[in-house]
Structure 1
Amino acid sequence: MSTDIINHIEFPVVDAERARRFYEAVLAPLGLMLVISIDAARAPHGGARHGFGKNGYPSLWVHQQIGAKLPIHLAFTADDRVTVDAFHAAALANGGTDNGAPGIRERYHENYYAAYVLDPDGNNIEAVCQRD
């Protein structure tokens, strides 16, 4: 029996290839990688799809979709603070925008170390380590 709360997450993006490049770079420090890509011709709604994850299972999906959308907030667990720093640096080097530099967020608790970036579509993406 799995103890995972979420099986997978999927959200729309304006440009699937731009999102793929961004997330490949940003998720690498967290140990996540591109697992599968489905081209637009084979995708259910006509937009390319990319799945990222660990151990060959895509837990995070992005798909290209035209039209209005609201940004999301997505937080990834990091094993340590160095990984949070690497996530932030990778995001900035690959088209992300700083939305909160790595650091302690005492408003949550004394060990909440996080960094926030906006991806190329304006989604607020976070990496967080909640260990001292």
Structure 2
Amino acid sequence: MRKWNKAAVTTAAFLAVGFTVTAAAEPVSATPGPAASARPASAGTIYCPNDADFAGTGIRIRSAPDLGSSTRGYGNHHDCFTGGFQTTGASVNCGTNSTNQWQYGTNRRTGVTGYVSWCYLEVDGTG
């Protein structure tokens, strides 16, 4: 017979039904940390309502709208990027197209502010 830790069972129950838990803000180091693991999501889960989200892991948040500017921190999918304003900056190749549009905002999880190219953001709001 297996014994279960009550906390482990409760955590597993929350994850199984698609609830999300908001993480506390953490300081950002100069080097990227391990990639964030994706949280389980149901089709109706909205992680960043009315905000943009990072389209991947380890997305650089820059000090200016240009790939050569210094990195202030990193963003990961489901961190949410609360926008301040959109601006025109250096052109970034997104694979099949390119854009010169950048968003200034704040990583909601870490509190780091700066610029992110629209190549690396999404606005659909779902996991």
Shared topology, TM-score over 0.5?
no
Larger Rg belongs to: 2
TM-score class, shorter: under 0.3
If the length of structure 2 is used for normalisation, what is the TM-score? 0.25
Structure with the bigger RCO (C-alpha within 8 Å, sep 6+) is 2
If the length of structure 1 is used for normalisation, what is the TM-score? 0.24
Higher helix content, 1 or 2: 1
